[in-house]
Structure 1
Amino acid sequence: MEPDFGTNHPGIPTNGTHGALGPVTEQLTIGRPANHPNVITWIKSGIFRNVRGALTALVAAWFYLPAALTLAAFFAFALGAASFLYPPLTQRIPLLDLVGDLPLIGDALNNMIANSSGVVSALIGVALGAIAGFLAGVWWVFMGPFRDSMVSGFSTSFGSLILGIIIGILYVLYRVLAERKILQISGARRLSRREAQYIMPLVFEAARRLGLPNVPTVLIDDTREPGAFAYTRHIVINQGLMDEFNYEREAIAAVIAHELVHWRNGDPLSSAFVRGVALPLYLVQASAGWLRDRTQNSVLRFLAWCVFWPVFVTVQYLVVPMQAADSRRAEYLADEGAALSGYRAGMRKVLARFRESFEGGRNGWVAAICASHPPNELRLERLEEPGRQYPLPDEDAPALALPVVLTGTSRLD
């Protein structure tokens, strides 16, 4: 059956009221991929798309992993300071009391610590304190509920997991239902008549090539930074993307096809569910990350890092690595979808133009997650046609700034 891409699509302006928010059932229907038979199947596919990332975010947020990191830092500082100050004051080295009688090891440590002015002792204390503090924090968080009874411990842990999952699902529903208003607040707007006449044929053509039975609502963001973003029921195209390529149809159509693959595969739903189950981390990372990145005051940036560093570390070094594999796979699939639908040259031109992904983060949390996008050079490699040579520098890459050449004579005294 031929897909229905009529002129009444919500991406095409008809009058001043078209596209306003309607009933809940309508909001769960308009703009979602029609390849899913119903709303429940659609949301379920997004929720279970990245189980590993969701479980990691769930444990990190609802079992208070940042608290364990804070305790590790405290123990590391305390034990490191004690290891540095205690030997000169008491003429005793506690570590040597434990291992001093061991053959070779005791003598080696004795000589090394004696000749290091307490630095080695302090470093060993920091390492041991960090390990002991982290283990104590994990034990306190995970095993604390089991102090009363095994039943109480399991019920508390299970309740935390269920609560996180419920909040994740509720957050997904909130993002889906309120997505249009959220995007409008962030600066997205409906297409003008001229924009619709230019963009929507590209959207419809890309959808036909991808075999999609419908398309999402398309919005424009007037920011001059090149970019495009797929959401659960919308695609937002930055004005800067069209300016960057001077309205070249092949490149812009390739980006549209890329975002349509994300939309069809439910990647925005998966991302929303992970943010939902990690809601405590998400709120802190998004707000503190915004303050850290936007403020011009170096003191405020330093204070933001000092206060919220356990959350930053948890997200950057635990949640993001677990998200990275799924994020890279999603990007490669979206690139492949654009290439297979006939936009290989356009997709390569876009990737060659941008040193980083054109899907940058719009807040602190999204910026951290988007950092796990694969390098553009590896994405370009996957888009190469067999048997064709792609030498460097890439013909589509932006011109590099040349160094200033100073002419004239100079005299060295």
Structure 2
Amino acid sequence: MGHMRTYVLMAAMTALFMGVGALIGGSGGALVALAIAGGMNLFAFWNSDKAVLSMAGAREVDARTAPDLVAMVHDLADRAAMPRPKVYIIETDQPNAFATGRNPENAAVAATTGLLRSLSREEIAGVMAHELAHIRHRDTLTMTLTATMAGAITMLANFGLFFGGSGRDRPGGLIGTLALMVLAPMAAGIVQMAVSRSREYEADRLGAEICGQPGWLASALTRIEALAKGRVNHQAERNPAIAHMFIINPLNGQGADNLFSTHPSTANRVAALMRLQPAQAPRRGPQPAAGRSSIPRSGRTSGRGPW
């Protein structure tokens, strides 16, 4: 099912790419766009994870530079019986995280410094477990392909607007110009929404199983949403095509891309997680960062928040 979804997504994005090419240059433009889309799909499959990490401004860390975060991710991956992903940190005050990679053997998780400073260890563990769930389900391939192709479609549309000649010269005239300017990026955003919402619920469920405590992730989602609204993620604002990859929408209203949410309601996600709590022995969610954690620390801290 996951592979079929990826193939359908790639076909839809390719068709949209060809449509934009046709608006710019007619049938010849469509053929050129088809060739470019084929190359983009191949590039995205092998390299889109690197592109997404670069767009997010992520830097790789290891057991020396971020010992506790790396140890936590490795412990959770071992618990889930999956390969250990690479670990990255994004320098931004907004608490958030995402995963990327074409398969579990070539995957990475990224957390922001705002997440590491603002959340408790239990909440961070819940977030990292959610991202590992995306990797285990191979959602990350779909996510990275979507981000790469959506960004390319928007860029091609902008190129056509500024360098494609006057509206009269294009197929469809003024109507074609307006469609090129508005509908193509909007359609790319709709595709992102279509594959994002149900995927988040499933990753929440499996993430709760991996960390063993649904309340940890529920508490993390609530705190991240509340804090993210007041903190700008400049990398995501500059590259809104990657917004759907984060655990909580990183855009806070600075651009038109925020008209469409790629994430389900946080309240609904929290309610679904709390239904997973054992009825006979309900556990409280983690307290803010001052509390102790049941997850063992390893090595020395790096001086950034709890890490």
Smaller-chain TM-score bracket:
0.5 to 0.7
Out of 141, 146, 157, the position equivalent to 1:269 is 141
Note if 1:221 corresponds to 2:96: no
For 2:114, give the aligned amino acid: G
Report what 1:352 is aligned to: 222
Q: Does 1:170 align with 2:43?
A: yes
CA distance in 1, matches of 2:182, 2:208: 36
Q: What residue is the counterpart of 2:251 in the other structure?
A: none
- Structure 1: distance between partners of 2:91 and 2:76: 23
Contact kept, 8 Å, 1:56 with 1:319, in 2: the verdict is no
Percent of aligned positions that are identical: 23
- Tell me the secondary structure at the aligned position of residue 64 of structure 1: helix
Kindly tell me: are residues 62 and 219 of structure 1, through their superposed partners in 2, closer, same or farther at Cα, counting changes over 3 Å?
same
The amino acid of 2:222's aligned partner reads A
1:330 matched to 2:184? The reply is no
Bigger shift: residues 190-199 or 248-257: 190-199
Give, in whole Å, the separation in 2 of the partners of 1:321 and 1:172: 21
CA distance in 1, matches of 2:36, 2:227: 34
Q: How does 1:376-387 map to 2 (within 5 A)?
A: 376-385=266-275
Following superposition, the deviation at residue 64 of structure 1 comes to 1.8
Cα offset for 1:238? Answer: 0.9
Which residue does 2:128 correspond to in 1?
256
Question: Corresponding residue for 2:185?
Answer: 315
1:69-128 Cα offsets, whole Å, 9 max, x none, are: xxxxxxxxxxxxxxxxxxxxxxxxxxxxxxxxxxxxxxxxxxxxxxxxxxxxxxxxxxxx
Whole-angstrom distance in 2 between the partners of 1:273 and 1:185:
14
CA distance in 2, matches of 1:185, 1:65: 25
User: Partner letter of residue 61 of structure 1?
Assistant: F
CA separation of 1:381/1:186 partners in 2, compared to 1, >3 Å: closer, same or farther? closer
CA deviations on 1:189-244 (whole Å, 9 max, x unpaired) are: 343657633112311221133221x1111122232211112121321111110111
Paired with 1:54 and 1:379, the residues of 2 have a C-alpha distance of 28
* Matching of residue 340 in structure 1 with residue 216 in structure 2: no
Q: CA deviation at 1:335?
A: 0.6
- Please say if residues 18 and 30 of structure 2, whose CA atoms lie closer than 8 Å, have aligned partners that are also in contact: no
Q: For 2:192 and 2:54, locate their aligned partners in 1 and report how far apart those are by CA, in whole Å.
A: 28
Supply the AA of the counterpart residue of 1:196: A
8 Å CA contact 1:46, 1:267 repeated in 2? yes
Larger Rg: 1 or 2? 1
Q: TM-score, normalised by structure 1?
A: 0.48
> Does 1:234 find its partner at 2:108?
yes
Q: CA deviation at 1:273?
A: 2.6
The amino acid across from 1:377 in the alignment is: A
* 8 Å CA contact retained: 2:150, 2:241: no
Cα separation, 2, equivalents of 1:229 and 1:209: 19
Amino acid of the structure 2 residue aligned with 1:57:
M
Of structures 1 and 2, the one scoring higher in RCO (CA 8 A, sep 6+) is 2
The answer as to whether partners of 1:323 and 1:372 remain within 8 angstroms in 2 is yes
| Coordinate RMSD, CA, aligned | 4.1
Q: Return the offset for 1:353.
A: 1.5
Supply the distance in 1 between the matched residues of 2:52 and 2:195 (Cα, whole angstroms): 25
Task: Give the equivalent residue in structure 1 for 2:66.
Answer: 196
Cross-structure match for 1:71: none
Shift in CA distance, 276/225, structure 1 to aligned 2, threshold 3 Å: closer
| Residue of structure 1 equivalent to 2:18 | 62
Unaligned segments of structure 1, at least 5 residues:
1-44, 69-139, 146-155, 288-306, 389-393, 398-413
**SS, match of residue 355 in structure 1:** helix
Q: Is the 8 A contact 1:261 1:337 kept in 2?
A: yes
1:283 matched residue in structure 2: 155
Q: Is the 8 A contact 2:85 2:108 kept in 1?
A: yes
Out of 69, 75, 79, the position equivalent to 1:209 is 79
Contact 1:164–1:278 (CA<8 Å) still a contact in 2?
A: no
Distance in 2, Cα, partners of 1:285 & 1:236: 30
Q: Distance in 1 between matches of 2:59 and 2:148?
A: 26
SS at match of 2:66: helix
Question: Which amino acid is the alignment partner of residue 242 of structure 1?
Answer: L
Q: In 1, distance between residues paired with 2:17 and 2:271?
A: 37
Q: Which residue of 2 aligns with 1:295?
A: none
Matched residues in 1 for 2:202 and 2:117: separation?
26
- Where does residue 243 of structure 1 map in the other structure? 117
Partner of 2:169: none
The answer to whether the aligner puts 1:365 opposite 2:241 as a matched pair is yes
Question: What residue identity is the alignment partner of 2:38?
Answer: I
Separation in 1, partners of 2:62, 2:149 = 37
Unaligned runs of 5+ in 2: 102-106, 160-176, 244-256, 280-284, 289-307
Shift of the 324–182 alpha-carbon distance from structure 1 to 2, 3 Å rule, reads: closer
